[in-house]
Structure 1
Amino acid sequence: MLSSLLKLILGFLLATAVLLGSGLTIALYFVNRTAIAPARPTFANDNPQTKPDKPKVTQVKATSIPKPTPSSTPSPTPTLSESPDSLPPGAYQGIVTWSQGLSMRDQPTLDAQSVGGVAANQKVIILEESPDKNWQKIRIEGTDKEGWVKAGNSKRVD
């Protein structure tokens, strides 16, 4: 009878040790999983410090292209197209001074649709001002994105 009692106590202690050990292992696993920081999300209006990759251009070899004769085909006249970096008359370069960046709108009103954003300290081209001088039409430098922002949140850069 003593050996049966000893086996019962030993079996109970062994089962308790196995349950505690596995419970502790599972708890440590979940604690370690929650300690890992998630990746930082990126948003469309973030200001990346690197320029976007240029699209890859593959060159195509021409096998035989007939050369036009100068008398038969008129040469097209070159057209002047405005590049995104050129300044229209009356426009000037500026920089966003509002520390949280600005929302660009399609019309110079607070109720207008948002068309994008400009980060703080980003260079812009100020194209025009609204008649009441409360809004400025800007173009983000190096792009063709244009929109209206509240006046007073940018300064002129020489």
Structure 2
Amino acid sequence: MAAAAAAEEKKKVMVAIDESDCSLYALDWTLRNLRDSMANSELLLLTVQPLSDYGYLYASSMGAAPPQLIRSFQESQEKVAVALLEKAKEICSENGVAAETMSEVGDPKEAICEAVEKLHVQLLVLGSHGRGALKRVFLGSVSNYCVQNAKCPVLVVKHPL
């Protein structure tokens, strides 16, 4: 009986997106190339709003930044995330795929891996920014971190530039 229940449970595929063309390409690639294998899967779209450093606001305002200014920046960041998820959901809808959306706040690479584990995701799809080795050393690589640390298979889709 447990095996039958597990077989009926939908598999979860998560596509992590940001404002880059690379992540939207990864979503489009997933919808075009994995459509048949995703027929019995649940598609989750995740975006992560990075924690903002408001230190520059303190320096520019000659002291503590007014709470309204910080709140305004946070609301602006949230609006960008909502718009991004709506655009991604529309792309899914145009391809006949229903998707759930979610937004997290934090370090993108850690938040993605935590969401994978918390939601029991079976496949994580990420876009690759195609940075060279030197840029990866200084800027880090979300996809590389997720390949090493996510608790599921990770598919990294490289944008053909």
Higher helix proportion, which one?
2
- Please give the TM-score of this superposition, normalised by the length of structure 1: 0.19
Higher relative contact order (CA 8 A, sep 6+): 2
Q: Which has the larger radius of gyration?
A: 1
